[in-house]
């Protein structure tokens, strides 16, 4: 099976070493793994967080960016999104405790 040539790849998708597109995380998948919402980044340096409220469960996380406009620069073609796992313990690694 041959993959997609680099010049034809969707920039919002991940491809393995053979160029085969891999399925992106969805809102439902991210929520099920402990994500609290989405982190949103614009190439201009502006960033923020947003809840999952109102987003369909089957929507791919990278495609949420297609619905957004940066409030700092007004562009919509320079935005990326990813799940926000801040504060969610995802398994391996040390657990932090507060120091009194």
Q: Are 78 and 70 spatial neighbours (Cβ–Cβ below 8 Å)?
A: yes
In a domain, 90, yes or no: no
In a domain, 5, yes or no: no
What percentage of the chain has pLDDT greater than the value 70? 85
| pLDDT confidence of residue 86 | 86
In a domain, 74, yes or no: yes
Q: How many domains does the chain have?
A: 1
In a domain, 88, yes or no: no
- Separation between Cα atoms, residue 24 and residue 15, nearest integer Å: 10
Q: Are 81 and 39 spatial neighbours (Cβ–Cβ below 8 Å)?
A: yes
Give the model confidence (pLDDT) of 48-97 as tens digits.
999 999 999 999 999 999 999 999 999 999 999 999 998 665 555 555 55
In a domain, 65, yes or no: yes
In a domain, 95, yes or no: no
Output the DSSP codes for 44-99. Answer: TS-EEEE--TT--TTSBGGGGGGG---TTT--SSSEEEEE--TT---SSSPPP---
In a domain, 6, yes or no: no
Tell me the residue range of the domain where 30 lies.
24-83
| pLDDT confidence of residue 56 | 97
């Amino acid at each position: 099976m041959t993959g997609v040539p680099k010049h034809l790849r969707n920039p919002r998708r991940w491809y393995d070493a053979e160029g085969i597109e891999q399925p992106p995380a969805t809102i439902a998948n991210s929520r099920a793994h402990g994500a609290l919402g989405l982190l949103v980044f614009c190439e201009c340096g502006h960033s923020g967080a947003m809840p999952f409220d109102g987003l369909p469960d089957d929507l791919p996380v990278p495609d949420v960016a297609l619905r957004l406009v940066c409030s700092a620069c007004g562009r919509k073609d320079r935005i990326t999104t990813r799940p926000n796992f801040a504060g969610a313990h995802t398994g391996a690694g040390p657990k932090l405790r507060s120091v009194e």
